[in-house]
């Protein structure tokens, strides 16, 4: 199927100055938004936080859930309704808080549990002999305390000690605290996590007839783990670009590689810039979408490069810029059909999708548009400039050497 008339050549390179300027503006603007102001809006995956999925018992709107979450003591919550006809009234609630206990509460708990790492701990009326915890560890989420004693511990006393600290709540269970190792006198104390406290706060604000007793799912990511995920995501994009550059250099010619790589960087930066401008969360799904875009963009660029290479041997008397115009004109119908098909499916996901799927589709829509455009007006012009600057502007073809004309003496006539 040919959208454009076969054999017709369009002057793409004649408009390259305008489109290169636009690309520079988009790239610099995206970098400014991402690094200076307002900065990326990282999701729970990267900055840490708690995510709770709740199936409410009655119909409730996202605005009321957000207000109730803030009234429960959680700042800047993110409330997303999950559209599921089989399970209505389902919401995802993300908050920035991770640990259910603060550093001050940890100190108070250690004091209340008579923690001491000394060989001979001080004996007081509050901490008689045999009641001292010799080892205490808190889970990263603050929902569990692991204790060890020198002798058989009194679980009822430990329960009262924990409950004496303001703001700390035990998880409801008959076996809490629990002696997990009678031989080593190890005890585990389960506290309410941030997810539990969020559900309790919503039940208090909206009522037990609206909010269920427990969440469908509770997940949390600590700040340290979030930073590690963020660094790993950046490295994954960098490694992908390096290997793609090596592939293009081996598959075609070294002069083709910089254009392809610059196009990939352009596409990735533009997608991030759009997400920052729209204040969308950048999550692991966003990184997965960018990696998908990198693969799609280089595939489209390789199609153009392959046609350029074929035409280099076919049109020996044309300039490199003219060959690029011919090559893009011959592949433009294929590019529009392929990109259009992908865009149609992604637009459907963006319009009718929800939550993470909607953001993933948005990243792909922007990436496909940027990738198709960069193959023509980023990768190809840079390749032409490299050829003109470093390869004498002949597309790698050496012009035939001109024969030097040497004047010969005139022949003497036979009469002389």
pTM: 0.67
Determine contact, residues 211/54, Cβ cutoff 8 Å.
yes
Under the banding of pLDDT at 50, 70 and 90, the label for residue 4 is low
Q: What residues are paired with 90 via a beta bridge?
A: 55, 82
Return the domain boundaries, the chain.
Answer: 13-41+222-390, 49-99+196-221, 103-192
What mean pLDDT do residues 126-136 have?
84
pLDDT, tens digit, 9 for 90 and up, residues 61-102: 888 998 999 898 887 788 888 777 777 888 888 887 777 788
∠ CA 91-93-98, nearest 5°, is: 155
Pairing relation of β-strands 217-221 and 178-181?
unpaired
Instruction: Write the DSSP string, 232-248.
Output: HHHHHHHHHHHHHHHHH
DSSP one-letter code for 72: T
pLDDT, tens digit, 9 for 90 and up, residues 224-238: 666 777 788 788 888
Q: How many CA atoms lie within 13 A of 219 on its CB side?
A: 13
What mean pLDDT do residues 160-187 have?
87
Architecture of domain 13-41+222-390 in this structure: Up-down Bundle (1.20)
Q: Does domain 103-192 have CATH number 3.30.1360?
A: yes
pLDDT higher than threshold 90 for residue 49: no
pLDDT, tens digit, 9 for 90 and up, residues 300-325: 888 888 888 888 888 888 888 899 99
Helix (H) or strand (E) holding 217: strand 217-221
pLDDT higher than threshold 50 for residue 382: yes
Helix (H, G, I), strand (E, B) or coil at 146: strand
Determine contact, residues 331/379, Cβ cutoff 8 Å.
no
Structural class in CATH, domain 49-99+196-221: alpha beta
């Amino acid at each position: 199927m040919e959208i454009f008339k076969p054999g017709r050549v369009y002057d793409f390179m004649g408009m390259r100055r305008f489109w290169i300027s636009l690309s520079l503006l988009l790239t610099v603007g995206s970098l400014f938004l991402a690094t200076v102001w307002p900065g990326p809006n990282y999701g729970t995956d990267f900055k840490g936080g708690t995510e709770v999925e709740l199936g409410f018992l009655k119909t409730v709107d996202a605005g009321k859930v957000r207000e109730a979450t803030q009234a429960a003591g959680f700042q800047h919550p993110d409330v997303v309704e999950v559209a599921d006809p089989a399970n209505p009234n389902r919401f995802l609630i993300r908050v920035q808080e991770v640990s259910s206990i603060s550093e001050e509460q940890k100190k108070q708990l250690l004091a209340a549990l008579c923690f001491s790492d000394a060989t001979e701990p001080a004996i007081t009326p509050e901490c008689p002999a045999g009641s001292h915890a010799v080892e205490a560890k808190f889970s990263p989420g603050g929902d569990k305390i692991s204790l060890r004693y020198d002798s058989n511990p009194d679980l009822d006393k430990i329960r009262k000690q924990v409950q004496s600290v303001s703001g700390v709540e035990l998880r409801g269970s008959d076996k809490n605290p629990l002696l997990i190792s009678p031989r080593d006198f190890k005890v585990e104390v389960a506290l309410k996590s941030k997810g539990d406290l969020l559900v309790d706060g919503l039940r208090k604000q909206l009522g037990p007839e609206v909010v269920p007793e427990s969440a469908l799912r509770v997940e949390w990511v600590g700040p340290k783990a979030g930073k590690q995920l963020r660094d790993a995501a950046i490295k994954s994009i960098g490694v992908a670009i390096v290997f793609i550059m090596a592939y293009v250099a081996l598959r075609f010619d070294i002069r083709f590689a910089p254009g392809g790589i610059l196009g990939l960087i352009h596409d990735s930066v533009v997608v991030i810039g759009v997400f920052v401008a729209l204040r969308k969360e950048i999550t692991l799904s966003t990184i997965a979408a960018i990696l998908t875009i990198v693969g799609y963009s280089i595939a489209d660029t390789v199609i153009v490069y392959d046609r350029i290479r074929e035409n280099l041997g076919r049109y020996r008397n044309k300039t490199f810029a003219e060959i690029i115009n011919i090559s893009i004109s011959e592949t433009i119908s294929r590019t529009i059909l392929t990109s259009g098909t992908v865009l149609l499916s992604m637009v459907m996901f963006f319009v009718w999708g929800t939550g993470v799927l909607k953001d993933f589709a948005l990243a792909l829509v922007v990436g496909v548009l940027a990738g198709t455009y960069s193959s023509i007006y980023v990768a190809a012009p840079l390749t032409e400039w490299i050829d003109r600057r470093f390869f004498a502007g002949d597309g790698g073809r050496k012009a035939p050497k001109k024969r030097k004309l040497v004047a010969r003496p005139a022949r003497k006539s036979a009469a002389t």
